[in-house]
A = this chain, B = another copy of it.
């Protein structure tokens, strides 16, 4: 894409109430804009990152057999009354539809929608197991929407729900999803800093699990067992007698972290209120056993920014970068145009800084702020050597690459 066409620009202006590093960088670089506390617009650059994260998640969910669908945000009160969460969930947005006269909630999660829907299609044990997911906007009336895009009042979430005939089948599937989650975080470039933590399982399960990524911006405290690469959430440390749930190790390391995903064995918590049952082989009615599995997209994007940036801007991992290459023309658009076209033709995603009234210094600063993995510079100096300057975002080393070799070189990087 030609940068001269991109309608957003980098900016030095950040809203006064914005204290988090992730939102500051994302706003300055033109990935998001703040509409109100906890509510962000995803601008075209941010949208490209979003789609890449979304596609990584979608691929991994499809691989564990998730069937993609799309559920609404408007939920009738009746469904939330059944589970008691109309009263008990603090951060539920609730209001009345003026014309239909009914009370509605804005969905923060979808057990109250999918459980009764699944009931329509589940009759016998032969209809189980299955899993369904959607990637959809969620709403939570957060007490304090701070931490930038890490904790929003509105945010995109992938939520997968699984339905099983028995606990053993859920346990097996749960382990598959656990692996899929690690693959997602690895592919998004935060795998090394992400730990599986033991969290409270509520009343139905001994544990739930969270995926916590180490960052000073995190709102959670976890205790890491370096032997097992597992960790424990602070909330259950006392119950755990301050030891690792996997090996009993008591030498745990405290760290701040942000929850980037969570998986939960729901058991019959939602099948019971909705009467979600199936006939087993003997013809007896049994409650369906459920699991749920969430990942917040803005939070994942914000976490990547928190842990991968320097004083000059963001350093995107290639898999989720808005563009692979940032091509900068220093008053050499004729030559740069051809390189741009050659790269695009070869299928390389390029942000091409073809702007004519912007100084070299400002172009370099923009490239660092936006943070594409590879910076190519075409200038009088590089052309004198029939070359293009190539620099990685996270390195100071600069290479000169011959014009004829540039497409090949990019594929080898």
Near B by CB (< 8 A), chain A positions 55-102 give: 65, 67-76, 91, 93-95, 97-100, 102
CB neighbours of A46 from chain B (8 A):
69-70
CB neighbours of A95 from chain B (8 A):
93-95
1/0 contact string of A95-128 vs chain B (CB within 8 Å): 1011110101010000001000110110000110
Q: Are A35 and B153 in contact (CB-based, < 8 A)?
A: no
CB neighbours of A69 from chain B (8 A):
41-44, 46-47
CB neighbours of A142 from chain B (8 A):
99
Closest Cβ of chain B to A320, distance in Å, is 16
Q: Are B75 and A35 in contact (CB-based, < 8 A)?
A: yes
Closest Cβ of chain B to A230, distance in Å, is 33
Closest Cβ of chain B to A305, distance in Å, is 17
Count of identical protomers in the assembly: 2
Closest Cβ of chain B to A391, distance in Å, is 27
Task: Given A69-B41, A100-B37, verify A74-B154 contact (CB < 8 Å).
Answer: yes
Q: Are A130 and B70 in contact (CB-based, < 8 A)?
A: no
1/0 contact string of A150-172 vs chain B (CB within 8 Å): 00011010000001000000000
- Seed contacts A7-B163, A47-B68; 18 additional CB < 8 Å A-B pairs: A33-B120, A35-B72, A36-B74, A37-B100, A39-B72, A42-B69, A43-B117, A44-B69, A46-B69, A47-B70, A72-B137, A73-B73, A73-B139, A73-B154, A74-B139, A93-B95, A97-B141, A137-B137
